[in-house]
Amino acid sequence: MVDVQPRIPTPKASPTSLRALDAANFFLADVRDGLGPYLAIYLLTTLHWTAQDIGIAMSVMGIATVVTQTPAGALVDRTRRKRIYSIVASLLIATAALLTITWPRYGVILGGQAMMGVAAAWFTPAIAALTLGMVGPKALDARVGRNETLNHAGNVFAAVMAGLIGYYLRTEGIFVLLAVMSLLSSVSIWKIREKDIDHQLARGKGSEDEKEPDDTKPTGLRAILSNRSILFFALACVLFHFANAAMLPLLGQRLAQGTSAGASSAYMSACIIVAQFVMIPTSYFTGKLAPKGRKRLLLIAFAVLPIRGLLYTLTVDPTLLVAIQLLDGIGAGIFGVLAILIVSDLTTGTGLFNTTQGAIATAVGLGSSLSNAFAGSLLQRTSYNVAFLTLAAIAVVALVVLWSLVPETSRQGRQVTSET
């Protein structure tokens, strides 16, 4: 972590580019996460796959993301073609979504999920880089909060549309919706003006970073692996997402028991809408409060996860199960903002912002992909309650790691902590 920061200019992107960034975040909400729990419902109710096969399919995208996420982050740091690669990634996801319903074979679906994973690996570091390159680090807290607010608003829109399509038309229509959102996100990214992106700032460099590099300091992955704060934060992320990722797909499968595919899609949309509505204000206020301290806010996100897992075991009422998703909105809303800001804090002035962002996203993808495979296998052998309680226990471990091993990273937050 850099305590003495270089002089960093504050870029002024045009209103046109900032509006395009807004639109990109809105439409990418449904694109960068892929089909998610809707795929589980489709495979269960339409193709009649087993829970274990569903878990494998749900894991393929995450595994592909894990393999490509860190190289994607490194590429974002090096390339000036961030917009073009983002458009290509969106089109790959659209293609995979359409293949899933037009040729629904085991190998095709798994291949499509792998394609989505490779494409999705690009978005987390790319959008963070475009944002940093357009607004600079001084405005990053508020802008990331705005990005995530629009992202969750886009998720609400997509979930409402998916619920209506799945209930009144066919579940396959949800995959078409994803393809359309992908095309719209491509148009939005194209409208960002290249001249409004400072590619030096986008990789975490400042205006004085044109000097020759210091060969005595570790670079690239060596610099990341030698930073204990980054490693412990990555560990906390792995445990958090291992506990979190499988909860919603498991809930979707539980709600799908004894109901039609249309009703199952409607229930899943309700779960997503409830959570995303909570994420909208949560993300906004997290961006506002983040300068005063990251860790205390992130502890809240980690603390609600085991509570959520426990509550899922206490009822089978669909209305109450949907209501419990309010907690997911709090946790995901806070994490989505702070993960980017913490990485920015830990890499200021190094030029490794996106490489580290990719490495952290690899940790998140690793936790998510293993979570779905683990939960699917566990459900096959035990019950929903055992699966939820096991994930809740892992969430408690994640909370302990964050509390004891991850430091406060914001300058103002460290000053408050030292004074108290």
DSSP conformational letter for 42 = I
| pLDDT value, residue 358 | 81
pLDDT at 403: 94
Q: Residue 209: its pLDDT value, please?
A: 43
In degrees and rounded to multiples of 5, residue 113 shows phi and psi of: -65, -40
The tokens for 227 are 């930073």
pLDDT digits (tens, 9 = 90+) for 82-127: 999 999 999 999 999 899 999 888 889 999 999 888 888 888 889 9
CA angle 338, 68, 63 (to 5 degrees): 85
Please state which of the ranges 38-42, 179-183, 328-332 shows the lowest mean pLDDT: 38-42
Name the residue type at position 228: R
> 185-189, 277-281, 411-415: which range is least confident on average?
411-415
d(CA 208, CA 8): 8
What average pLDDT does this structure show over 3-14?
A: 59
pTM: 0.76
Q: How much is the pLDDT for 39?
A: 82
Write down the mean pLDDT value for the chain. 84
> What is d(CA 83, CA 106) in angstroms, rounded to the nearest whole number?
33
Interval 196-213 mean pLDDT: 68
Q: In whole angstroms, what is the distance from residue 131 CA to residue 24 CA?
A: 11
What is the pLDDT averaged over residues 160-172? 83
Where does the pLDDT of residue 35 fall: very low under 50, low under 70, confident under 90, or very high at 90 and above? low
Please answer whether residues 108 and 100 qualify as being in contact, where contact means their C-beta atoms are separated by less than 8 angstroms: yes
Report the distance separating Cα 144 and Cα 132, nearest Å: 9
Mean pLDDT of all residues in 247-261? 77
Region 62-79: mean pLDDT is 86
- Tokens 């004894």 locate to 258
Question: Euclidean distance between the first and final Cα of the chain, in Å?
Answer: 22
User: What is residue 1's predicted lDDT score, i.e. its pLDDT?
Assistant: 44
Q: Read off φ and ψ for residue 133, nearest 5 degrees.
A: -70, -20
Q: Are 274 and 329 contacting, i.e. CB atoms less than 8 angstroms apart?
A: yes
Where does the pLDDT of residue 211 fall: very low under 50, low under 70, confident under 90, or very high at 90 and above?
A: very low
Identify which has the larger pLDDT, 4 or 247. 247
Query: What CA–CA distances, in Å, run from 241 to 234, 237, 257, 352?
Result: 11, 6, 25, 23
Token code pair at residue 158: 């997509």
pLDDT higher for 111 or 262? 111
The most confident of the ranges 293-297, 301-305, 366-370 is 301-305
Which pLDDT tens digit goes with each residue over 272-292? 788 888 999 999 999 999 988
Cβ contacts of residue 12 below 8 Å, gap of 6+? none
Once rounded to an integer, what is the mean pLDDT over residues 302-313?
A: 95
**Is 219's pLDDT higher than 90?**
no
Residue ranges and CATH numbers for the domains of the chain are 15-202+222-419 (1.20.1250.20)
